Amino acid sequence: MVKRPAQQPVQELVEFTDDHDRPLGVMPLPDVHRQSLRHRSVLVLVYNLKNKLYLQKRSEVKSLYPSRFDLSAAGHVRSGEARLDAAARELRQELGLVADRLRLVSAVPASRETGFEFVTLYSAGKFAAEPKPNPKEVSDGMFVDHAELAYMVGKFRELLTPGLVLFFEKRVLFPLDI
């Protein structure tokens, strides 16, 4: 019997960019993060029928912000992938949801505050179905209203990702805010 070497996990390839979001090259995501290179990410908002926002609790094995609460779905734009396609992929991969349409809500430039990511925020709208978190990506989740999230940001900021706080403070997370 021939013994085969263990397969290495496939590394996600992303484009790193200049400060105007123009692609400069392609690299594995861990290398881009380690070198603090600018790159692209997406966040997706999911609401229930009561207009409560779903927050995911990131898996404890995530390299960045493990076990912190984040927006509904989050991820990086792969090399050659459109932002909208990345948002739909992350929504499906992390929560098992497919949106009829994704609406652009906001975008912020890459900075130290965003982890050098050009972040694009989309809304998937309201869902009657409950999210089905992928345990490899998401350890838990919950729906919150504006007041509950305001309390979390005020009292438990260290339990939240910087992106969640950033967009909460920009007042774009709840339909009445936008």
Q: What's the domain range around 47?
A: 13-169
117, 37 Cβ separation under 8 angstroms: no
pLDDT recorded at residue 48: 96
Residue at 176 is within a domain: no
Rg over alpha carbons for the chain, rounded to the nearest Å, is 17
Q: Give the Cα-Cα-Cα angle 137, 75, 19 (nearest 5 degrees).
A: 150
pLDDT tens, the chain, 178 aa long: 555 555 545 689 999 999 999 999 999 999 999 999 999 999 999 999 999 999 999 999 888 899 999 999 999 999 999 999 999 999 999 999 999 999 999 999 999 889 999 999 999 999 999 999 999 899 999 999 999 999 999 999 999 999 999 999 999 999 765 4
pLDDT recorded at residue 49: 95
Residue at 156 is within a domain: yes
Tell me the pTM: 0.90
pLDDT recorded at residue 175: 76
Residue at 109 is within a domain: yes
Residue at 178 is within a domain: no
Residue at 177 is within a domain: no
pLDDT recorded at residue 73: 97
Q: Which residue has the tokens 């861990």?
A: 30
Residue at 3 is within a domain: no
CATH number of the domain enclosing 107: 3.90.79.10
Number of compact structural domains in the chain: 1
pLDDT recorded at residue 129: 92
Q: Of 109, 115, 111, nearest to 161 (Cα)?
A: 115
Residue at 118 is within a domain: yes
Residue at 1 is within a domain: no
pLDDT recorded at residue 62: 87
